[in-house]
Amino acid sequence: MFTSVRLFGERHSVGGMGRVCFSRFEDAAEGLIKDFGGSVRTVYMDPPFGTGSVFEYRDGRHTVAYSDRLSDAEMAEMMRSAVTLAKALLAPDGTLFVHVDHRLSARLRMLCDEILGEKCFTNEIIWTYKSGGRSKKAFSKKHDTLLMYRMSPRAYFNIAAIGVPRGPHRRNHMKRGIADDGRVYYSIRSNGREYRYYEDDLVFPSDVWDDIEHLHQRDPERTGFVTQKPEALLRRVILACSTEGDTVADLFGGSGTTAAVAVKEGRRFITVDRGEISLMVTRRRLLEQSARLGMFGTAKPFEVSYFEPQGCDMELHDIFDITHEDGGVCLAVKRGGAERLSYAAAGTMTDGNAPVFVAESYMLRPKENARIYLRRGCVLHVAGSDAQNGFFQLD
């Protein structure tokens, strides 16, 4: 009844304008440079930090998301390739952000200086937070570092896009007043002059970001990806260094935060990651976000490209009860099947030597007895909660 097929990618009509590359960035580099070289406005990279640990995906069960156990030499080679690719992708007025912590910040600063040029270095941004334990043997490590490099002095930067109103909180030694136009201000006199600070004036962040916290365990943003970064962090980066319609790239896609924020802010995205968990989480996140924000029905397509064609490592009868209907079948999620299924979609397959799955209807986080219909000749795409993946054509 069903035949397993090997496909080279996916095409979704909703989710946001962009490309998800299921690949190592080294393998995707040639194609990315061909398609996007010199045109990307912002590149953000959140590489492994050299912790020596294995990180999990937690969503009802624990599955390995990725391993951070590269040797120093392997890490140096990988990051040299990543920064070199970022340089090739960035527009002349583009900006690179490299997100690291104390383990690699010094080494990556030197590497970026070498590849991009010391004059391109712009900021060492400190992202400080309060979450996590406290050390009694040394000062607790409570910050990450974002190394910011501009490709040229004319790089796009709009700090007004990330300003926040000064607000009404109390200010020591200042007198509250109301201007003739009704605006509230606080004033202070010095050397015979009055200085006014209006509540609605924008205040801009410095290079110490202490107003964005880590995601707590029950945060609604949580995808289950342990090292997920908050959307507020990426929103600040994207809004300050790109405009609507620009392309934003992430070479270590992880949980898909960069892509998700780019879509919300009207940008195009490129996100690259070889992890099966990353692909599963990013795809589902983009589709669910579109449904939640009422973006289904709008023409904002994204594609998923595979470096190697994907086959099947799942059994449909383990997940679905399958019944025949006129001209096709109905698949209903079995008892216990829902917890094994992350996503399912029915669609078609393009012709040619490198066929791609084209999604038409979706089943996201399905519950028991949820149903999806497939007509003869169509293709079913399923992804398990443990990142198993499969394409099946109905004969």
Q: What is the pLDDT of residues 235-274, one digit of tens each?
A: 999 999 999 999 999 999 999 999 999 999 999 999 999 9
Shared-domain flag, residues 209 and 180: no
- 93-102, 211-220, 304-313 — which is least confidently predicted? 304-313
pLDDT at 170 over 70: no
**Structural contact between residues 377 and 393, judged by C-beta atoms closer than 8 angstroms:** yes
Q: Do residue 359 and residue 384 come from a single domain? A: yes
Closest CA relative to residue 345, chosen from 38, 12, 24, 79? 12
5 within a domain of the structure (yes/no): no
- What number of residues does the chain have? 395
Q: How confident is the model at residue 365 (pLDDT cuts 50, 70, 90)?
A: confident
CB-count exposure of residue 367 (10 Å: 0-12, 13-18, 19+)? exposed
Q: What amino acid occupies position 75?
A: M
- Establish if 11 belongs to a structural domain: no
Domain co-membership, 189 together with 159 = no
Question: Are residues 67 and 140 part of one domain?
Answer: yes
- For residue 80, being part of any structural domain is answered with yes
Predicted confidence at residue 314, as pLDDT, reads 78
Most confident of 317-326, 334-343, 348-357: 348-357
Residue 263 included in any domain: yes
192 and 173 in a common domain: yes
- DSSP lists the bridge partners of residue 123 as 148
221: closest CA among 292, 274, 131, 294? 292
Q: Residue 86: enclosing H or E segment and its boundaries?
A: helix 72-89
On whether residue 10 sits in a domain, the answer given is no
CB atoms within 10 A of CB 80: 15
pTM: 0.92
Residue 299 pLDDT grade (very low, low, confident, very high; cuts 50, 70, 90): low
Is residue 157 domain-shared with residue 182, that is, in the same domain? no
Asked if 168 and 232 sit in the same domain, the reply is no
Domain endpoint, select from 300, 324, 351: 300
Return all residues near 47 (Cβ < 8 A) that are at least 6 apart: 78, 79, 82, 98, 99, 100, 104, 251, 252
Is residue 12, in this structure, part of any structural domain at all? no
- 141 plus 270 within the same structural domain: yes
Range with lowest mean pLDDT among 13-22, 130-139, 275-284: 130-139
CA gap 247, 16 in Å, rounded:
12
71 and 170, same domain (yes or no): no
Mean pLDDT of the chain: 92
Structural domains of the chain, count: 3
Sign of CA dihedral 113, 116, 122, 125: negative
Same domain, yes or no: 119 and 240: yes
Q: Are residues 73 and 123 in the same domain?
A: yes
Assess contact for 192 and 161: CB atoms under 8 A. Answer: no
Question: Do residue 177 and residue 157 come from a single domain?
Answer: no
Which residue range forms the structural domain that includes residue 371? Answer: 310-394
Boundary-marking domain end, from 262, 277, 300: 300
What is the per-residue pLDDT across 61-92, written as a single tens digit (0 to 9) for each? Answer: 778 999 999 999 999 999 999 999 999 999 99
The CATH number covering residue 326 comes to 2.60.40
**Residue 191 falls inside a structural domain:** yes
Q: Is 2 domain-assigned?
A: no
Please report, for residues 92, 106, 113, 162, 227, the alpha-carbon distance to residue 253 in angstroms, rounded to integers and kept in the order given.
Answer: 23, 23, 24, 23, 11
Model confidence at 190: pLDDT above 90: no
* In contact, 321 and 31? CB cutoff 8 Å: no
pLDDT number for residue 59 = 80
